[in-house]
Amino acid sequence: MKADIWRDTMATKINTLTANISSRKAMLELKREQLLGTSRDREEILIETLPDPADRVKSLTDCDIAVQRLDHRSRLIHDIDAALEKLQNHTYGSCERCGQPISSKRLDALPWSRLCFACQSDIESIERVPALHFKRAASAHPKNATPSGAALRGG
Ligand SMILES: [Zn+2]
């Protein structure tokens, strides 16, 4: 009787784990598809010959933004590919820097995370300028602001 309960519990645990992994895989593949499918940014990159200098400036600014977006996207695709590979190798979910498990909360938000929150914050404090840029962008949307960020700065 006891053994049956134990077995059922274990089976449920294993099922949940498998479901988690396959849902992560599905999410990663979907995101990858979305990133590869959007060609709009690539079109924006084509520099047009515009007669008006003001239009030309605007076009260059748009191009700059498009290049940044492409850069961000190719890095994201690279991270997603790495995450999919780690799912296959059963090393998914551990930090590439310290080897500690990445929290499932973090993986829920960013399934392609390569680093745990502490290591990511460490790296961001080294690359101070882009981190500040990101924080400013995030604070424009209060729903993106997480209390964990404040807690980390405090400690
Ligand atoms: Zn780490």
Q: How many whole angstroms separate alpha carbon 38 and alpha carbon 135?
A: 26
Q: Let me know whether 75 and 135 are in one domain.
A: no
Q: Let me know whether 73 and 46 are in one domain.
A: yes
Domain that holds residue 142: 116-155
Å from CA of 82 to ligand 1 middle: 16
Q: Let me know whether 13 and 67 are in one domain.
A: yes
Q: Read off the tokens for 108.
A: 């829920």
Q: Let me know whether 80 and 126 are in one domain.
A: no
pLDDT of residue 106: 94
pLDDT of residue 37: 84
For helices 147-154 and 117-126, angle between their N-to-C axes, nearest 10 degrees: 70
pLDDT of residue 114: 94
Å from CA of 81 to ligand 1 middle: 19
Residues with CB under 5 A from ligand 1 (ion): 95, 97-98, 116, 119
Q: Let me know whether 49 and 99 are in one domain.
A: yes
> pLDDT tens per residue, the chain (155 residues)?
567 888 888 777 767 767 778 889 999 999 999 988 865 555 555 555 666 777 777 777 888 888 888 888 999 999 999 999 999 998 999 999 999 999 999 999 999 999 999 999 999 888 765 545 555 544 444 554 445 444 445 44
Find tokens 């084509």 and name the residue.
46
Q: Let me know whether 104 and 143 are in one domain.
A: no
**Which residue, among 101, 94, 111, has the nearest Cα to 32 in the 3D structure?**
111
Q: Let me know whether 77 and 10 are in one domain.
A: yes
Q: Let me know whether 15 and 63 are in one domain.
A: yes
Burial of 18-27, coded b for 16+ CB within 10 Å and e otherwise, reads: eeeeeebbeb
Residue-by-residue DSSP string for 17-69: HHHHHHHHHHHHHHHHHHHHH--HHHHHHSPP--SSHHHHHHHHHHHHHHHHH
Q: Let me know whether 100 and 133 are in one domain.
A: no
Å from CA of 97 to ligand 1 middle: 5
